[in-house]
Amino acid sequence: DDTAKGQAGATGSGKHEEQEEEQQQQQQPAKETEDKPQDHKSKAAKAAGSSKTSALPQNTVEQGRVFFLYKPTVQTEQVSGLRDVQRFFMLLQPQQPPGGSCRLIVIGKKKLPNPAKHERYFAFVEATAATPKELTEGLTASTYETKTRGQRKQGPARAAGEGSYVIAKGGSRGGAHLAYELELPAEPGQAQQVLGIKQQGSFVLSAKNPDNKGRGGVPSAGPEPAYSEQQREQFQGRAWVGVEDRSLLDVAGTELLLVGAKDDPIDTGELGAASDALQQASAEGERLQGQGQQQQEQQLQEALEPANADAEGGD
């Protein structure tokens, strides 16, 4: 009997242990499931570039990626002059500090101002979004019918350049400067020459007071910018202010003035520590420039354009 009781006790103890083990196994997946949201957040943070980043120089407002695009005129295959360009865009994708929007900026004279001549060109923020591709979705190819010329084709926006940029305070002309270094294409070609895109350049960057309508109440180029009260206070009755507050660029309709400053901001160290930061940010360009030209153009085009079977390569 004692033996039987011992065996029964052992059996009961064994069943109890099995039940505990089953409970632990059932609890384990739940714990793993609880950890997954944190993993997703970590991956999202890394994808957004908000993982561990180096501090920006004190005079640097923002640092990120810049893309140049142009919309060709109807039926245009190759760009040989500004008459072949319908619109010219500069797309800014901020990386540091995190949190800024991507901005699609229209350049008024369809090219960048010449730094050597200190040309002054107007521009405006047409739209903002979380990613570059969201901003280029409306720039795809289109076809339409006309009564006199039949079917006409409007080509998609074409990528004309990619590089790094900084917005910094100071410089030889004072105020806020936007400086860039081109990484793709490795050697500027015909399209880049037409659009005024050089290997590097810098511009004094100012935002227009929305209450400054000009002579005779001339309307603004884009929609009325919906500035917050804090943003409006920065103008304080002035017609233009330097873009030292990057949040002004996050508002669609912000009117800008680009004044050519330097065509070699890195070589001359015009912006001090910010010039060094720009050079470091362009280190990735050295790797890109080691690729073949055809691969470079394909990578540049894919970086911007939404899926479009009829999309053409850059010039």
Residues 6+ apart with CB under 8 A from 202: 115, 171, 177, 178, 179, 180, 261, 262, 263, 265, 270, 271
pLDDT of 297: 56
pLDDT of 84: 87
Q: How confident is the model at residue 289 (pLDDT cuts 50, 70, 90)?
A: low
For 114-140, write each residue's pLDDT tens digit: 988 999 999 999 999 999 989 988 787
- The 10 Å Cβ neighbour count of residue 297 is 18
- Mean pLDDT value across residues 149-155: 61
CB 170 within 8 A of CB 177: yes
For 30-89, write each residue's pLDDT tens digit: 333 333 333 423 333 343 444 345 678 888 999 999 999 998 887 677 777 898 898 999
Rounded to an integer, what distance in angstroms lies between the CA atom of residue 193 and that of residue 152? 27
Rounded to an integer, what distance in angstroms lies between the CA atom of residue 150 and that of residue 74? 13
pLDDT of 15: 47
CB 104 within 8 A of CB 126: yes
The answer on pLDDT for 164 being more than 90 is yes
- Mean pLDDT value across residues 153-157: 70
Q: Tell me the sheet residues that pair with 177.
A: 168, 204
